[in-house]
Amino acid sequence: MKEAQAGDLVSVHYTGKLMNGEVFDSSRDRDPLEFTLGSRKLLAGFEEVVVGMKPGDSKSVTLQPEEAFGDRLDDLVLEVAKTEFPRHINPTVGLQLQMTSSNGAALTVVITDVGEESVTLDGNHPLAGKSLVFDIELLEIK
């Protein structure tokens, strides 16, 4: 049976978990994930574990923060005065907003705190700073 290698289009089911076992994402309730090995569209460690697998094989991989979404960066957390918000936006915890950084890049931020006078925005990926476990099953090499 053929082993998956760079350049192959593969189909996998996966479950992504935090170290405490909490599931943050899974393809089990939807269509499998299809991608080309080596395309660099997924986390590198995720792709690397699929290389050498055969259809029907299952593996787990633990990715440290630097292999996944990076460490949390304090300079991506910003406190903004409520008066700076457009009037049509009601700041609430969990609301995602698009901002433009000083270099012109689009940045998604999440409101993490709403105080009397200010709002805290976090531009870190929600999984930044976390080790992640992926359970991967190779379904098919296309």
CATH no. for residue 61?
Answer: 3.10.50.40
| Single-letter residue type at 3 | E
Backbone torsion region of residue 40, taken as left when φ is above 0, otherwise alpha when ψ lies between -120 and 50, otherwise beta: left
Same domain, 105 and 136: no
Task: Let me know if residue 14 belongs to a domain.
Answer: yes
pTM over 0.85: no
Task: Let me know if residue 3 belongs to a domain.
Answer: no
Tally of structural domains, the chain: 2
Between β-strands 132-141 and 118-122, what pairing exists: parallel, antiparallel or unpaired? unpaired
Same domain, 43 and 81: no
| Single-letter residue type at 116 | E
Same domain, 14 and 65: yes
First-to-last C-alpha distance (Å) of the chain: 13
Same domain, 93 and 106: yes
Domain that holds residue 114: 74-122
Task: Let me know if residue 41 belongs to a domain.
Answer: yes
Same domain, 65 and 80: no
Q: For residue 124, which of 133, 114, 113, 111 has the smallest C-alpha distance? A: 111
Task: Let me know if residue 1 belongs to a domain.
Answer: no
| Single-letter residue type at 5 | Q
- 71/131 Cα distance (integer angstroms): 10
pLDDT one-digit tens code per residue, 2-43: 999 999 999 999 999 999 999 999 999 999 999 999 998 999
Query: 54 near 4, Cβ under 8 Å?
Result: yes
Same domain, 38 and 108: no
Task: Let me know if residue 90 belongs to a domain.
Answer: yes
Torsion of CA 84, 86, 90, 94, to 10 degrees: -70
Q: What pLDDT band is residue 102 in, cutting at 50, 70 and 90? A: confident
pLDDT one-digit tens code per residue, 51-97: 999 999 999 999 999 999 999 999 999 999 999 888 899 999 999 99
